[in-house]
Amino acid sequence: MAPRILLARHGQTEWSLSGKHTGRTDVPLLEEGRRGAKLLGERLHRAPYDGLPGVEVRTSPLARARETCELAGFGDRARAWDALLEWDYGAYEGMTPADIQAVRPGWFIWRDGVPEGETLAGITERADEVVSWARAEDRDVLVFAHGHILRSIGARWLGLPIDFAARIRLNPTSLSVLGWAYGEPAIESWNDLGHLV
């Protein structure tokens, strides 16, 4: 069977709750985020996942993703990887979309990018690196990372331009699975929050 990639977005933080662009700022998880990470772990340790024996685990080196990984029970198997860092939002770090729209009407991150930060080409290249790695594995892989980089990975897994990521939102502590259908890359599940109910 061709490998799948399981995508786990980190738990809720103060900035994700308020809608602030949180790139490289190392914002800690809220208690709600810690609880969600534990519930995600419980889900991944029961059927049909059964703890994902033998899975290759990678995490963003930022604390909110690493702690989510640890609380979910995969910290001892995880390797930090810079390719999973969130988008570097440059001058827009810590701003909400409304804040940015006030100074730049009509702005759309997936088209316009960010000043003084990572380019659209740069995040596409990192997403492609993750997709290539996952497809080269002979087993499923599990990654813990951030909203925009995971959405970018979703778009690139499907072979679509990076701006497709605008159409596939992700909530904190969500679980998504990218796999195959009829030999083509496919979304098996997206933004699944069943473990939080």
Nearest to 107 by CA among 117, 97, 116: 97
Q: Tell me if residue 67 falls in helix, strand or coil.
A: helix
Given the residues 10, 21, 148, 195, the one annotated as active site: 10
64 annotated ligand-binding residue: yes
Given the residues 56, 67, 86, 118, the one annotated as active site: 86
Please, where are the H alpha helices in 45-166? 63-71, 97-103, 109-112, 120-136, 147-157
23 annotated ligand-binding residue: yes
Q: At 182, list the tokens.
A: 């009829």
- The span from the CA of 190 to the CA of 170, in Å, is 8
User: Quick check: is 10 catalytic?
Assistant: yes
96 annotated ligand-binding residue: no
User: Quick check: is 148 catalytic?
Assistant: no
DSSP β-bridge partners for residue 78: 57
**Count of alpha carbons within 13 angstroms of residue 135, beta-carbon side:** 16
* Cβ–Cβ under 8 Å, residues 94 and 15: yes
Known binding-site residues for substrate equal 22-23, 64
The catalytic residues are: 10, 86
